[in-house]
Structure 1
Amino acid sequence: MERGLKLSDKSDLLKDPGRYRRLVGHLIYLTVSRPNITYSVHVLSRFMHQPRQHHMEAALRVVRYLKGAPGQGLFFSSNNDLKLRAYCDSDWAGCPLTRRSTSGYCVFLGPSLISWRSKRQKTVSLSSAEAEYRAMTGTCCELTWLRYLLTDLGLAHHEPTSLYCDNKAALHIAANPVFHERTRHIEMDCHYIRDKIQDGFIVTKYVSSAHQLADILTKPLGKETFVPMVRKLEVQDIHSPT
């Protein structure tokens, strides 16, 4: 998507909405192996009930991107230390229609990306720290399930899982659980994260926004930022020259 693009409901309705719905349905299946289009498809799927002309234009832009690199896909290296690490991020009040934030996370097993998600939050967040905390909670739930799954497969993780976040306010609240009026809306999230830290389940770490890999799942980025992020997600093109 174009950088800073905010899709709304201010253009003409499509005469054939079924064509748009079928196209987005196909794109949803592609997100299973193409994490680089997850955010775009997530946004496009919000308008399935009343698609408009500029929604179709944005969807066709995704199709042109896919046709330009048909050999792209996830690469899983054989050299793997099998350690979990996760990145979480949120775009505060990013939806222009509801002012809800978009949460995104990506989980790596060694160098390989194994889980990712982009989802609009269920409630309106009153601050960026609140939005980040909700993103951290969703990531923790995913990490809990993955650790249990890996244990069943004989890959028990006894060390804390690194959770990278680029919001210092959220990290400070996690380290110092002092509740006041600004945090009363997220006390359950705060307690959940805090319990996981005390149990040695996760360890939160700061990462700069320039190295926040989950950024690609929360907002449209420019080409100079998007392309390096795709490489860091271990999405490679088998047709590109070595």
Structure 2
Amino acid sequence: MLDSKPSSTPIDYGTRLHQQSGVPLSDSEASAYRRLIGRLIYLTNTCPDITFVVQHLSQFISKPRSTHQQAAAHILRYVKAAPGFGIFFSAKSVIQLQGFSDSDWADCLDTRRSITGFSIYLGSSLISWKSKKQATVSRSSSKAEYRALASATCELQWLTYLLEDFGVSFLRPALLYCDNQSTLHIAANPMFHERTKHIELDCHLVREKLHSGLLKLLPITSANQLAGIYTKALPPGAFNFLQCKLGMYNIHSQLEGGS
């Protein structure tokens, strides 16, 4: 990998992996793949920009194939391009929780389950993020988005209680941004319909937190949806834009610029 060409993104735009893509790996190659994915999962604790693709590749550790191995190597090429990238925490931003919730409907080619993605900020600093395949199949994009919204709501609730336990003063309510108009309508509508019955618990959860004043739902455009980096492979331009919004900076370039 030392002689490999660096990559500008952790996964090529439009890449679609599934359980039968490529040829099976040998036992030794499969073991090496599992060890690499384990290390990459650990790396996502400080590199949120690789979270989506690492989550995606971790689904194939039982029977990895050549295309999965190549995609994992692609992540290493991306990390090699800027090893000094890390999360910057500002000491001057307003202390308020802000969340961004997104999903990619029926993304998994093997199960057609959707991907939940969210990012939570304290002021301008990223403090929590997730990319995870949903437990059940959603029959519409709005249902998938609502499940993602409920996950982000639970995280905001936990962080709110955590800040209270620490005695931290912060602005209320927490803000939660969603780019799906149908999902926002379901959250604002006090009446249940037959088509929303299977997400009734999620509906009750979100509405309860809205009515209690714990959070406020706000619309956002898809282009500015910061959680999009956790749900899909993006083209370089969109990826770089969202990466900057994560508050990630290259310490090496900062040092070079100041010297």
Report the TM-score when normalising by structure 2. Answer: 0.91
Matching residue within 40, 47, 62 for 1:34: 47
Can you give the 5+ residue segments of structure 2 that lack an aligned partner in the other structure? 1-10
Can you give the 5+ residue segments of structure 1 that lack an aligned partner in the other structure? none
The Cα of 1:108 is off from its aligned counterpart by 0.3
The Cα of 1:180 is off from its aligned counterpart by 1.6
Matching residue within 12, 19, 44 for 2:23: 12
Matches within 5 A, 1:57-72: 57-72=70-85
SS of 1:239's partner is helix
2:174 is matched with 161
SS of 2:131's partner is strand
The question of 1:22 aligning with 2:35 is answered: yes
Q: State how far apart, in whole Å, the 2-side matches of 1:156 and 1:134 are.
A: 30
Q: State how far apart, in whole Å, the 2-side matches of 1:105 and 1:226 are.
A: 15
- Note if contact 1:33-1:73 (Cα within 8 Å) is conserved in structure 2: yes
The Cα of 1:156 is off from its aligned counterpart by 4.2
SS of 2:121's partner is strand
Matching residue within 170, 179, 185 for 2:198: 185
Q: Deviations over 1:161-220 (max 9, x none)?
A: 110000000001111122222111111111111111111111100000000000000000
- Note if contact 2:117-2:227 (Cα within 8 Å) is conserved in structure 1: yes
The Cα of 1:9 is off from its aligned counterpart by 2.1
2:5 is matched with none
The Cα of 1:65 is off from its aligned counterpart by 0.3
Q: State how far apart, in whole Å, the 1-side matches of 2:120 and 2:41 are.
A: 19
Superposition RMSD on alpha carbons, in Å? Answer: 1.0
One-letter identity of the residue aligned with 1:13? P
Which ranges of 4 or more aligned residues in structure 1 deviate by more than 4 Å?
none
The Cα of 1:157 is off from its aligned counterpart by 4.2
* Aligned positions, number: 242
Matching residue within 233, 239, 246 for 1:226: 239
SS of 1:104's partner is strand
SS of 1:178's partner is coil
Matches within 5 A, 1:66-105: 66-105=79-118
Q: State how far apart, in whole Å, the 1-side matches of 2:170 and 2:221 are.
A: 26
SS of 1:160's partner is strand
Give the % identical residues: 49
Q: State how far apart, in whole Å, the 1-side matches of 2:236 and 2:75 are.
A: 13
Report the TM-score when normalising by structure 1. Answer: 0.98
- Note if contact 2:96-2:171 (Cα within 8 Å) is conserved in structure 1: no
Q: State how far apart, in whole Å, the 1-side matches of 2:152 and 2:233 are.
A: 21
- Note if contact 1:177-1:190 (Cα within 8 Å) is conserved in structure 2: no
- Note if contact 1:74-1:113 (Cα within 8 Å) is conserved in structure 2: yes
Q: Deviations over 1:68-102 (max 9, x none)?
A: 10000000111121111000000000000000000
Q: State how far apart, in whole Å, the 2-side matches of 1:41 and 1:177 are.
A: 38
